[in-house]
């Protein structure tokens, strides 16, 4: 099976002003009826020297508003980048979601989000007192000849 690109999807989410308790998941992006290929993304703010994780969770994930604690594999959490660092980037100089700042390596260049799955972000090293907005840009992946684009 191969796919063609369909509609462009741009969504913003993340940890709101006031921060978040450690390991609490906040929604960033939700795919619709088609898989979505994430082609770019940025983030900014966060607490200095704290780490954040960007991950895929299934449609059955209980909450995207900071009320669900990430508890491991039983929730279907799939890490995209576990090394987003806080306090380094601003609105004028945003960070790249594909960049692992700690190891100075790339965590891929495109991610495919399955239909109806979500991308979440959560602090992994401590309770966060700052916001951490994340912006993702993607394109629907559609079957050739479909009317979805």
In order along the chain (149 residues), what is the average pLDDT of each group of 10 residues? Answer: 90 94 96 96 93 95 95 86 91 91 71 97 93 97 78
Q: Given the DSSP bridges, would you call strands 111-113 and 36-43 parallel, antiparallel or unpaired?
A: antiparallel
pLDDT at residue 71, as a whole number:
86
Report the pLDDT value the prediction gives residue 93, as an integer from 0 to 100.
94
Exposure class string for 67-102: b at 16+ Cβ within 10 A, else e: ebebeeeebebeebbebbbbebbeeeebbbbbbeee
Q: Residue 73, Cα to own-chain centre: how many angstroms?
A: 17
Model pLDDT, residue 147: 66
Q: What is the pLDDT of residue 129?
A: 93
The whole model's pTM is what?
A: 0.92
How many CB atoms are closer than 10 A to CB 142?
18
């Amino acid at each position: 099976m191969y796919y063609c690109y369909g509609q462009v999807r741009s969504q913003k989410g993340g940890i709101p002003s006031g921060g978040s308790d450690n390991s609490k998941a906040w929604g960033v992006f939700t795919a619709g009826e088609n898989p979505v290929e994430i082609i770019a993304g940025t983030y900014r703010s966060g607490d200095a020297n704290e780490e954040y994780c960007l991950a895929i969770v299934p449609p059955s994930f209980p909450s995207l508003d900071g009320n669900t604690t990430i508890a491991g594999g039983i929730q279907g959490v799939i890490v995209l980048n576990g090394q987003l660092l806080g306090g380094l980037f601003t609105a004028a100089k945003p960070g790249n979601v594909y960049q692992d700042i700690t190891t100075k390596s790339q965590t891929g260049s495109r991610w495919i989000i399955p239909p109806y799955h979500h991308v979440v972000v959560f602090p992994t090293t401590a309770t966060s007192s700052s916001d951490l907005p994340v912006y993702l840009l993607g394109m629907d992946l559609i079957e050739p000849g479909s009317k979805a684009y």
